[in-house]
């Protein structure tokens, strides 16, 4: 039995050919983002965006939280998967990147589902708790500055209802998590979070070796 699928030459294009359902609006936003400095590295893969939308639909989420909007590709994927009346709160440190996505959200007809909150993400999440939003979100996606992932995780865990799902991106962090020489703050933070999640019995977890590592965290019901 093989340990994993080998990323043979041509395999990713094959996967995209047989499974990716990226339409023109999503493709246009992804290609525009790819032209930005570090755009390709910072945005989610198209396959990951499709997975996020799939998970939002699978969990029948009505209230979604996103930490790290960037240009709003993942935002669009999740907002489209919401039912009528669904709401997505997305957080970013600046209007600069989310403003790029607004045109594409409008093209897709989901602008009214998206609530952009600008500022320090931890402050935004604490503000949501202060508004009485604890345990009201069905789904959360964390894809922001890595050094603060543990903080975002803990706040998201308070905001997500029992049985809700948290998705953490970049949990393999370009493979640096297994390099003992990698001691930068971001890598150390991801490495420590992975170990913490392994032993956090408040949740169930599954780390998918897809894209740059995607960890699914389900908050246990009491």
User: Tell me: the pLDDT tens digits for 100-132?
Assistant: 999 999 999 999 999 999 999 999 999 999 999
55 part of a folded domain: yes
Q: Identify whether 209 is part of a domain.
A: yes
The answer to whether residue 19 is domain-embedded is yes
Distance CA 170, CA 152 (A): 14
Q: What is the mean pLDDT of the chain?
A: 95
- Domain holding 152, by residue range, is 11-219
5 within some domain: no
Asked if residue 6 belongs to a domain, the reply is: no
pTM: 0.95
Is residue 179 assigned to a domain? Answer: yes
Residue 187's alpha-carbon distances to 42, 143, 179, 184, 195, in angstroms, are 15, 14, 9, 6, 13
**Stretch 146-171: mean pLDDT, rounded?**
98
Residue 2 is assigned to a structural domain of this protein:
no
* Per-residue pLDDT tens over the stretch 159-194: 999 999 999 999 999 999 999 999 999 999 999 999
Number of domains the chain contains: 1
Indicate whether 2 pLDDT > 90.
no
Q: Is residue 3 part of a domain?
A: no
Q: Give the CATH number for residue 195.
A: 3.40.50.150
């Amino acid at each position: 039995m093989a340990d994993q699928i080998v990323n043979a030459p041509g395999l990713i294009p094959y996967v995209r050919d047989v499974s990716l359902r990226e339409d023109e609006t999503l493709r246009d936003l992804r290609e525009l983002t790819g032209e930005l400095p570090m755009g390709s590295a910072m945005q989610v893969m198209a396959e990951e965006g499709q997975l996020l939308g799939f998970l939002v639909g699978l969990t029948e989420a009505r209230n979604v939280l996103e930490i790290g909007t960037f240009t709003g590709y993942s935002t669009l994927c999740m907002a489209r998967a919401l039912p009528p009346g669904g709401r997505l709160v997305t957080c970013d440190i600046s209007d600069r990147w989310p403003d790029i996505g607004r045109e594409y959200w409008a093209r897709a007809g989901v602008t009214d589902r998206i609530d952009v909150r600008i500022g320090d993400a931890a402050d935004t999440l604490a503000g949501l708790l202060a508004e009485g939003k604890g345990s009201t979100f069905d789904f959360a996606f964390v894809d922001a500055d890595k050094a603060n992932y543990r903080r975002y995780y803990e706040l998201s865990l308070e905001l997500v209802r029992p049985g809700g799902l948290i998705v953490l991106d970049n949990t393999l962090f370009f493979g640096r998590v297994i390099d003992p020489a990698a001691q930068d703050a971001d890598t150390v933070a991801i490495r420590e979070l992975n170990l913490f999640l392994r032993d956090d019995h408040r949740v169930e977890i599954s780390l998918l070796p897809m894209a740059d590592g995607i960890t699914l965290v389900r908050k246990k019901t009491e």
